[in-house]
A and B are shown apart, each in its own frame.
Chain A
Amino acid sequence: MIGERGVRRWALGAALLAALVWLFPYAWMLLTSFKTPQELLKAPTALPTSLGFSAYAEVFRALPVARYAALTTVMALSIAALQIAVALPAAYALAKLDFRLRGAAFALLLSALLIPAELRFVPTFTLFSALGLVNTLPALVLPFAVSAFGTFLLRQALLSVPNSLIEAARLDGASELYIVYRVLPPILAPSLMAFFLVSFVHHWNDYFWPLVMTVDDTVRTLPLGIALLREQGSGVRWHIIMAGSTLLSLPALGLFAFSQKYLMRGLGSGVG
């Protein structure tokens, strides 16, 4: 029989092993990105002999990285802002106001959880191509105006906001819109933060939707550009591909390092 202390030791061993399994691929990506083609050809698994950034320079030569990154940031920020602007009044109505069919409206929102982008792209693509919107920023942003996850998160948070607070604001002459966009956000800050982070990271990383909605370089996002590195050129290119992968994952990992608590809180709530 293993005692309490033995269990603790096993748990620490498992944690160490997990940390290795999950950190090794990152380390490998980084190491490969510092190698030269000669090193890759001769001994693909040996450590690089020097800290060379030529692969990164090559990525910047092959792709307009700054433009892709800027466009991706604008897209992900627009989606997050639009989602929050749409979700706040809806969550307020669903959590705080009594009206007929409230249950039905809430059920409709929940059923949107059931319809991922992978189910919507065929008709949306034909609709946008009829409207001439394929390959534009609106085609990348508008279809995500509603976040069922985020609206649900805000509604749950609003349920614990006391009614007296809203009634006091009404007595002070605040309009409903003022309450929704000015009074509530500071109170909902932690949930809004979690909502923003989940949305931003998801869309910054998204590959599928930009892939099906773009046809050329006009509104190409960074994940699409980096994926192109695999198809371009010939010969040994793993150092370049890994340099691109590093560039793509760094912003998300950086954001993660600063906001892990909020992200875990948002996702741990169990609706994502």
Chain B
Amino acid sequence: MKPTRPSEPWWLLAPMLGALAVFFVYPLLSALRTSFYEWDLLTAPRFIGLGNYRAIFSSGELFASLGTTLLVSVVVVAGSLVLGLGLALAVNRPGRLAALARSAVFSAYVVSWVSVGLLFLWIFDADAGVVNQLLSAAGIGKVKWLTSTRMAPLTVALIVLWKVTGYAMVVFLSGLSGLPPEMQEAAALDGAGPFARLRHVTLPLLRPTAAFVATTSLIASFQLFDVVRLLTQGGPVRSTTVLVYAIYEQLFRDLRVGRASSLVVVFFLVLSALTWLKLRAFRSQEPV
């Protein structure tokens, strides 16, 4: 449609563009600039060139936190794909039990991370937690869910998985509802059993949905912070110090604004690459 006045669209867009400029574009440019300075918020910033970047690369801090983030991401992405799809297939039917399971799994998505974090802190408590109590009653012995460097990142990943699987399931359910039923019927007429239909008809058609879920879970696990802050504070021995937690520590514990900003810049580059993947997956979801 033709706008009533040529300038009309820009007036309508102005609030959005203004907010984008102040709260999206400015912070990124500012972080880029600050990343070349040493600054503790109290004294004047001092230009140190690439000093911050050299420090985060050579101290191993960047790679350690990237590695931890990646480890958690792998579990969350693989888990949300398998569980999300499996559950979507299992509950994609009428009936009260299926409806109950749908609601139960999806409800975790709307519960605050704080509640989820505190709840699992209690459930996975080393001594009095219900999981370890059951394990030791069964004669298996207690597991150091949150206190061993090897288990803690996995426990964190499992909790994230519990929280985000419902979202993956909902996306898969809406993917399933978009599939043409004629193809299932035709395959069934040809004598294909339920597994053959799943493998040769449903799964190939769901590939774009799966790509979308995978990239969304990947980006969500790169933003991980709340659970880590509530459950482990990055420990034990920094084994759960994910990227955002590392940035948070640099700023609020060490007052190193420049160092934090250099991590933000690297984080932005990583996220851009991941989001590019997400947009590609999203585009391939649209009918050609």
Contacts and interface: CB of A to CB of B under 8 A. Distances in A.
Interface string B126-150: 0111100110000000000000000
A44 interface: yes
Contacts of A129: 41
A151 B103 CA distance: 27
Nearest to A144: B23
Interface in A71-107: 85-87, 89-90, 92-94, 96-99, 102, 105
B112 A252 contact: yes
Contact of B1 (A167, A224, A255): A167
B27 A256 contact: no
B181 interface: no
Given A15-B101, A176-B4, A112 B24 contact: yes
A114 interface: yes
Nearest to B35: A122
Interface stretch (A49-57, A187-195, A237-245): A237-245
A132 interface: no
Contacts of A260: 103, 106
Given A40-B128, A129-B41, A245-B115, A14 B212 contact: no
A249 B108 CA distance: 10
B14 to A, nearest CB: 8
A216 B162 CA distance: 32
Given A11-B90, A227-B230, A253-B111, A45 B133 contact: yes
A186 interface: no
Contacts of B3: 93, 97-99, 176
Contact of B261 (A45, A123, A269): A123
Given A119-B267, A207-B114, A227-B230, A86 B19 contact: yes
A66 interface: no
A90 B13 contact: yes
Given A44-B128, A115-B28, A267 B12 contact: no
Interface in A223-272: 223-224, 226-227, 229-230, 238, 241-242, 244-246, 248-249, 252-253, 255-256, 260, 263-264, 267-272
B194 A32 contact: no
Interface residues of A, number: 102
Q: Which one of B1, B2, B98 has the greatest number of beta carbons of chain A within 10 Å? A: B1
Contact of A90 (B16, B95, B272): B16
A14 B97 CA distance: 10
Interface in B221-238: 223, 225-226, 229-230
A135 to B, nearest CB: 14
B6 A245 contact: no
B194 A7 contact: yes
Contact of B257 (A21, A90, A126, A246): A126
Given A86-B16, A270-B282, A115 B268 contact: yes
B68 interface: no
Give the dominant DSSP class at A's interface.
Answer: helix
A146 B16 contact: yes
B89 A208 contact: no
A14 B90 contact: yes
Interface of B: 1-4, 6, 8-13, 15-17, 19-20, 23-24, 26-28, 30-31, 34, 41, 86-87, 89-91, 93, 95, 97-98, 100-101, 103-115, 117-123, 125, 127-130, 133-134, 162, 166-167, 170-171, 173-174, 193-195, 209, 212, 216, 219, 223, 225-226, 229-230, 244, 247-248, 251-252, 257, 260-261, 264, 267-268, 271-272, 275, 279, 282, 285
Given A15-B101, A44-B127, A126-B41, 14 more contacts: A18-B91, A18-B104, A22-B107, A109-B20, A120-B24, A122-B264, A126-B34, A167-B1, A208-B225, A211-B229, A226-B114, A227-B230, A245-B114, A245-B119
Please provide the 3 A-B residue pairs with the shortest distance between their CB atoms, ordered closest to farther: A268-B174, A44-B128, A205-B112
Interface of A: 1-4, 7-8, 10-12, 14-16, 18-19, 21-23, 25, 28-29, 32, 40, 44-45, 85-87, 89-90, 92-94, 96-99, 102, 105, 108-110, 112-116, 118-120, 122-127, 129, 142-146, 151, 163, 166-167, 170, 176, 180, 201, 204-205, 207-208, 211-212, 223-224, 226-227, 229-230, 238, 241-242, 244-246, 248-249, 252-253, 255-256, 260, 263-264, 267-272
16 contacts: A1-B193, A2-B195, A3-B194, A18-B105, A29-B115, A93-B9, A97-B3, A114-B271, A115-B268, A119-B27, A212-B251, A223-B114, A224-B114, A227-B117, A253-B110, A270-B285
